[in-house]
Amino acid sequence: MKTRIGILGYGNLGKGTEIAVAAADDMELAAVFTRRDPSAVTLLTEGVPVVNVSEIEQWTDKIDVLVLCGGSATDLPVQTPKYAGLFHVIDSFDTHARIPEHFANVDAAAKAGGKVAMISVGWDPGLFSLNRVYANAILPEGKDYTFWGKGVSQGHSDAVRRIEGVKNAKQYTIPVETALEAVRSGSNPELTTRDKHLRECFVVLEEGADAAKVEKEIKEMPNYFADYETIVHFISEEELLRDHAGMAHGGFVFRTGATGVNKEHKHVIEYSLKLDSNPEFTTSVIIAYARAIKRLADEGQTGAKTVLDIPPAYLCRQSAEELRAHFL
């Protein structure tokens, strides 16, 4: 019997989840829930009902795991605790500073409802978190480095768009190659976020706007750009839509540390992702963990979980015997 997946919210993450479910032969999409008029939503998959979220409580016995595809700013802090009382749920909550609070809220709701609820699943938080934790446990004396990109930062793109005279914009966060090399060398450099990244902006001006003034305003914007090496390109709206519509992203996690009687042996652990589609990769991680949730639920576990709580074998379709024989 396949694991029945429900999706709440049909934006980029919802579509990515739909695609990831289709690629998993042990899963099937049971329904998509939306706040919109269901007749206005067309899925990629044929024959799957689109249901208004007001009717979701009628689906509690037809869904094994509900994937919450809302945003971290306002949707998930409300939705995850709410639906964790009714379904086994999973979200990609990614506001790092608010994870402890979100975990506590979701944990209470899931325990009250006798459900399993995973939060903050994706690649950061998610796979990058796993790598930080494994590497720290193995090299207790060392330094951690996380680099993001090359990829679009939504927050920085929005900040550029708010400048007077800017019609549209995309901002890429790009790791600085010399900083990556310094980390790889094992020299344990001290690096701030701004030492590690440069910012490249592609900007479409409103007619008659002053390019020099816009460029100055971007480069001097506090917090967002002032402390960074920032490159600004002015392009046409046509070019922006043609060349910068993609959702590629990625990044690097390092831990460098030393062992030995006199700490004379250096070690470098490096993990990196190069992703053509941030939402599709994120939801591929989510669907692997949805499989784990089903197993935890079948074992009778309840409460909030993160990627740090899940044995790796639980993500896999294969049996423990197959994994030991072929992957260990």
- Name the site residues for a second copy (rule: CB under 8 A): 16, 19-20, 23-24, 44, 96, 99-100, 103, 120, 125, 127, 129-130, 132-134, 136-141, 184, 186, 259-261, 264-277, 280-281, 284-285, 288, 291, 306-313, 315-317, 320-321, 323-325, 327-328
**Minimum distance of a second copy from residue 91's CB (angstroms):** 13
The CA distance from 6 to 121, in Å, is 16
Nearest to a second copy of 161, 267 (CB atom): 267
**What sign has the CA pseudo-torsion 252, 258, 259, 260?**
positive
The CA distance from 321 to 325, in Å, is 6
**Minimum distance of a second copy from residue 213's CB (angstroms):** 38
**Minimum distance of a second copy from residue 40's CB (angstroms):** 20
Nearest to a second copy of 129, 153 (CB atom): 129
**Minimum distance of a second copy from residue 192's CB (angstroms):** 18
Which two tokens mark 62? 């037809």
Nearest to a second copy of 114, 246 (CB atom): 246
Nearest to a second copy of 21, 204 (CB atom): 21
**Minimum distance of a second copy from residue 97's CB (angstroms):** 9
Rg (the chain; Cα; Å): 22
Nearest to a second copy of 48, 268 (CB atom): 268
CA nearest neighbour of 197 among 226, 220, 173: 173
Neighbouring-strand partners of residue 33 = 8, 51
Which two tokens mark 207? 């007619």
Which two tokens mark 243? 């060349």
The CA distance from 227 to 218, in Å, is 11
Tell me if 65 sits within 8 A of 290, measured CB to CB. yes
Q: Beta strands 151-152 and 166-175: pairing type?
A: antiparallel
**Minimum distance of a second copy from residue 289's CB (angstroms):** 9
The CA distance from 43 to 54, in Å, is 19
**Minimum distance of a second copy from residue 89's CB (angstroms):** 17
Instruction: State the amino acid at position 155 in one-letter form.
Output: G
Nearest to a second copy of 107, 215 (CB atom): 107
Nearest to a second copy of 209, 258 (CB atom): 258
CA nearest neighbour of 171 among 240, 93, 223, 253: 240
